[in-house]
Structure 1
C-alpha cells in the first residue's frame, strides 16, 4: 500500500520570472518592428515609370500595389504581437495561481499538513463501522435474493461478499493489534491505521462493484410480486415464532437462575417492534406499487426486509440460548468429573518431583497472568464513555520453565474451590449452566494437559454462546453501536473459528486458551455495545415513532437516519451504493 507520506526533499520553484519577462518584451518588440518596418521601407523619392495607359493610370496602379503590399505586410506582425500578449498574460496568470496555491513568498513548496495519529484513529474507527454495516446489510439482502433465485444464481455476489468479509476481518485484526500496542513507534502505528482504512475501502469497493449486477438479478424495477411473496412468507413464519419465543423465555426463567434470561430481556418486545414496522412497510409497498410508484415501493420493501431480518436474529437468539442452556446443563456433571481428573493428575505431578526441580511440570501446565484470570471470571470492561475498550490480556501459553515452588499447589487449590462452589449451586436450586461451565473450565484451565476432552468441548460451547449473543446485540442495534464493540466481537469470532491448519506445537491447552479468550472478548463486546445503546438514547422523539416501529428501525440501522421520516433503507453494496434507494418520501 502506498504511504500517504510525501517523501523527498522540498523542491524550489526556479526563479525564471526575469527571463520570462525578457521573452515577453522581446516578443512585443518584434511585433512593433514588424509593424513599423513596412512604413520605413516605402520610398517616396523613387521615380514612377509612365505606363502605356498614361500618367494617371500608372499612378493609380502603383498606389493599388502599395496598398496591397502594406496590408499583407501588417498581417504577420499583428499575429506575432497578439501571440506575445497572450503568452505574457498566460504566464502572469499561471505564476499568480502557483504563488497563491503552492508556494510561500520564498518559493518553497508547501506540503499539505499530515493527518495526526488522532485523526487517523478516528478515520479508522469510522471506516470500520461503515464497512461492517455494509457487510451486514449485504448479507441480509443476499439471503432474500437466495430464497427466491437459489444459491447458484447469487454465487458471484456471495463470493464478493466473502471477499469483502475477508478484507474487513483483516482490518479488524489490524485494529485489534493496534489497540494491544502492536506495532510500536509513531510511524509504524500511523501506517497500521492507514492499512485499516485501506482494507475497509477495499471491502466497500468489492461490494460497490457488484451492486448494479445485484439489482439486475433481483429485478425489483420490473415488479415486486415475487419479492413481496418471499418477504411476507418469512414475516408470517416469524410472527408465529415470536409468540413461541416469548413462551420459551418464560420457561427459562422458571427453570434457571435470573442471570440466564438477563441477556435477552426485551428481545421479544424488540422483535415484535420490528415486525410491526415490517407490517406497515409491506402494506405500503403493495399500495404504492398499485399506484405505479415503483421506486417508492422498492424502498418500502427494502425497509420491511431489513426489519424482518433483525426480528429473525432476535428470535433465533432466544432459541439458540435455550439450546445452549440444555447442552450446558447436561455437560456440567461431565465437566466436574473431567475437572477432578485434571486436578488428580496435577496432584500426582506435584508429588512426583520436588518443587523447583528442573523438568518437573514444564510444558504440562500454563501460567495464568492476573489479568487473564480476571478476564476468565468475567471482569467487567472499562465503561468510560469515549475511551477505547481495554485490550485483552496476554494469551495463555504452556510453561517453558519449571513452575515456581507453591504455584502449582495454589492452582490446584483454586480449582478445588471452584468445583466445590459449582457443586453447591447444583444442589441449592436453579442455577446458570453456562456460567457454571464457564467457571469450571476457567478454574481447571491452568492444569489442563489433555486428560479430559470435556474441557475444550465445554469452552467451545460457552464461547459460541457468548459470541452469538454479542453478535445479536451489535447486529440489531448497529445504528448506535460504535467501533470498540465491533473490534472485540471480530477478534472473538476469529479466535472461535477453527484455524485452517493447526500450527506445530498447538496442543489442547492452546486451543482451550483461544476459546477462553473468545468468550472473554465476546462478553466485553456485548457490554460495550449495550453501553453504546444506552448513551445513544432514543433516536426518534415522540410516541408515534415508537408505535410504528420507526425508532427501532433507526436504532437498528434498518433506516439510515438523518431525516424526520428515518431516511432511506440501505441495500446490498458498499459506501457509495448502499443508499441508492433514496427518495423524498420513504
Structure 2
C-alpha cells in the first residue's frame, strides 16, 4: 500500500473514532434499528443521524482514499452502529421504534424463537451491565479487513508479475484461479501453449546471450577488460539465468514425469528467468552502443575486421587438408561432427567479404551508421569462420590423443578381465556372480571388436576409447562390488581421464555446431548441450575429492553432448538443409553472397515457428541484406542494428 493510501485509511479510522465518541454516551436513548446490508450506492450508512457535522469529515477522508491510483485503490464503507442489549421489537410488523433500555431496565423478553439471521456479534457489546458499548472495534475490524483485502490483492498481482512476464515477448501466461471474494482473473494458459512459449523463450534468450558474448569479445579486445566490465557482468548474469532455465527444461524432459501444477510452475519459472536475462542485457544495450560507437569508429573497426578476414582466408587450405587427412585415416564417423565445417567457413567468409565491401561503400559516402551495420555483420561472419576452422583443428588433436590413450585403455581392461576370470574360476554360475559374468562377456566382446577395428587400419579412435572405457568401468564396479578389490581412486582417475576426453570432445563439437547453426537449432538440442556442460563442469569439481562420482558425471555429459549433436543435426535437416551446409542450391533461406549461411548461423536474424526453431521463410530481408545482424542485448534489442530499433 502506498504512503498516500495509508494516510487516507488512517484518516478514515480517526473519523470513525470521532463518530464513536457521542455514540457511546447516547446509546441509551437512541432508537434501535435492524441490521442492514451495505448499500450499492454511497459509502456511509448512518440511520441514526449520529454523525452530525462530522459527516463531511468522513466523506472527505473516504474521497481521499478513493483518489488513490486504481491499481492501489481499496473500497471502504463506514457504518455507524448503535449497540443495544437486545433487539426487542425487531420482529414486529412495521418499522422498529423500540427505545434502547436503560442500565436497570432489562426490557421485555421476546417470546419468539431466536432468528439465526439476527445474531449479534459478541465483540460488538463488551459490557451489558454498565451500559458501556465499544463501537471502535467495529471500525477497526472494517479497516483491518480493508487492509487485508488490499494486501492480498497486491500480493496476488505481484506474484503473477513475478512468475510470468505478463504482456511480455512470450505471451505472459497466468497461473489462473481466483480465490473466493476476488475478481476472476484471465483464464490460465493451456499447458501445451505454455510449454511452447517457454521453449521459444529459451531459444531466443540463448541466441541473445551467444550474440552478446561474441560482440563483447570484440569490445574487450578493443577497449580492454575494465571498460567492458559492466557488460561482462550483465552477460554473466544472463548466462546464469539461462543455465537455470535450461536445467528446468531438462528436468521436465527426463524420465520422471511431473504433475500438471508442478509442470506449470516450472514453465513459468523458465519464462521468468528468460525475461530476467533479457531485461539485464537490454538494460545494457545503450551503454554498450556508447562504448563501441561503431558509427563513429567505423574506419578502425573496418580495418580490424579486414585484417581478421585476411588471416582466416589463409586458413582455408590448411583446414581442408586436415579434414581430408581425417577422412583418409579414420572412419567417416570420426570426422562427422566437422564434416561440413570447412564449407561452412568458406560461406561465412564470402558473406564477410560482401559485408566489408558494402561497409567501405557506405564510408566513402560518409554514412557511418549504415557502415556500422555492415561491419557488425562482417564481424559475426568472421567470428563463426574462425570457430569452424578451430573445430577442425581441435577434432584432429582429439583423435590423435584418443589413439595415444587407446593402448593403455586396452591393457587396463585386459588386466581387469584377468582378475574377473580368477574370481569366477571354480565358482558356480549362481545369481551372485551372474552380473560379473555378464560384464566380463561384454568387456571381452568390446575388446575383440576394437582390436579388429584397429587392425583394419581405419577406425574411430574416440568411439573406440569410449567403448573400452565404458566396458572397463562396468567391470571395475562389478569387481569392487564382489569384494575382489577395494575401491581404488588411482584406477578410477585413470578411467575418469579417458571419460573426460571423450566428453570434452563431444561437448565441444556439439557447442560449435549449435553456435554456427543456431538459426535452425531448437530448444531440445540446446537443453541437452547445456546439461552436458553442467555435468562436465561438475565432474571437474568432483575429480579431486570424489573421482567415482566425477566419472559418472563425465560419462553422462558425454552421452548428453552426443544426443545434443544428433538433435541439432536433425533440426538443420528439417530446416531444409540435408547436408548441414548453408547456401546449397534449392535450400530455403539460401541466397547469393553467403546470405544462406549467415541466416543459418544466426548472424542475420530470422523468425521463429511454434516449436522453437527458426522459420526459414520468415522475416523477409530488407535493405542491403535483411533485418540486420545480431548485436549485444536481449531479445528486445539485439536486432536493433539495421531495423530502426
Task: Normalising by structure 2, report the TM-score.
Answer: 0.64
Q: Does the Cα contact within 8 Å between 2:242 and 2:274 map onto a contact in 1? A: yes
CA separation in 1, counterparts of 2:41 and 2:318? 88
CA separation in 1, counterparts of 2:41 and 2:271? 47
**Matching residue within 138, 146, 166 for 2:220:** 146
CA separation in 2, counterparts of 1:117 and 1:129? 19
Query: Match of 2:338, SS?
Result: coil
- Alignment pair present for 1:442 and 2:470: yes
**Matching residue within 620, 628, 639 for 1:563:** 620
For residues 439-473 of structure 1, the C-alpha deviation after alignment (integer angstroms, 9 at most, x for no partner) is 11121121235436432111111111111111111
CA separation in 1, counterparts of 2:41 and 2:520? 62
What is aligned with 2:458? 430
Could you tell me how far 1:306 is from its partner in structure 2?
1.0
- Alignment pair present for 1:477 and 2:522: no
CA separation in 1, counterparts of 2:458 and 2:632? 45
Aligned length: 447
CA separation in 1, counterparts of 2:539 and 2:284? 29
**Matching residue within 267, 288, 293 for 1:219:** 293
The worse-fitting range, judged by mean Cα deviation, of 260-269 and 324-333 is 260-269
CA separation in 1, counterparts of 2:541 and 2:426? 36
The two structures, once aligned, show a CA RMSD in angstroms of: 3.2
Q: Does the Cα contact within 8 Å between 1:271 and 1:312 map onto a contact in 2? A: yes
- What are the within-5 Å matches in structure 2 for residues 355-370 of structure 1? none
What is aligned with 1:394? none
* Distance 1:144-1:18 versus aligned 2 partners, 3 A rule: closer
Could you tell me how far 1:483 is from its partner in structure 2?
0.3
**Matching residue within 484, 489, 506 for 2:529:** 489
CA separation in 1, counterparts of 2:384 and 2:634? 20
- What are the within-5 Å matches in structure 2 for residues 122-521 of structure 1? 122-180=196-254, 184-348=258-422, 404-448=432-476, 449-450=487-488, 451=491, 453-498=493-538, 502=542, 507-521=546-560
- Alignment pair present for 1:572 and 2:612: no
Could you tell me how far 1:225 is from its partner in structure 2?
1.8
Could you tell me how far 1:263 is from its partner in structure 2?
2.5
CA separation in 1, counterparts of 2:470 and 2:528? 20
What is aligned with 2:576? 537
CA separation in 1, counterparts of 2:453 and 2:332? 14
Could you tell me how far 1:185 is from its partner in structure 2?
2.1
Q: Does the Cα contact within 8 Å between 1:339 and 1:452 map onto a contact in 2? A: no
The worse-fitting range, judged by mean Cα deviation, of 330-339 and 225-234 is 225-234
CA separation in 1, counterparts of 2:213 and 2:182? 51
Could you tell me how far 1:431 is from its partner in structure 2?
1.3
The worse-fitting range, judged by mean Cα deviation, of 560-569 and 425-434 is 560-569
Query: Match of 2:637, SS?
Result: coil
Could you tell me how far 1:501 is from its partner in structure 2?
5.1
CA separation in 2, counterparts of 1:430 and 1:500? 32
What is aligned with 2:610? none
- Alignment pair present for 1:524 and 2:563: yes
CA separation in 2, counterparts of 1:353 and 1:160? 63
* Distance 1:343-1:287 versus aligned 2 partners, 3 A rule: same
Query: Match of 1:409, SS?
Result: helix
Query: Match of 2:314, SS?
Result: helix
* Higher RCO (Cα < 8 Å, 6 or more apart): 1
Give ranges in structure 1 of 5+ residues lacking alignment: 1-13, 23-106, 357-402
Q: Does the Cα contact within 8 Å between 1:134 and 1:573 map onto a contact in 2? A: yes
The worse-fitting range, judged by mean Cα deviation, of 251-260 and 303-312 is 251-260
CA separation in 2, counterparts of 1:15 and 1:238? 80
Task: Normalising by structure 1, report the TM-score.
Answer: 0.70
CA separation in 1, counterparts of 2:256 and 2:229? 37
* Distance 1:260-1:108 versus aligned 2 partners, 3 A rule: closer
What is aligned with 1:55? none
* Distance 1:304-1:529 versus aligned 2 partners, 3 A rule: same
Query: Match of 2:315, SS?
Result: helix
Could you tell me how far 1:165 is from its partner in structure 2?
1.1
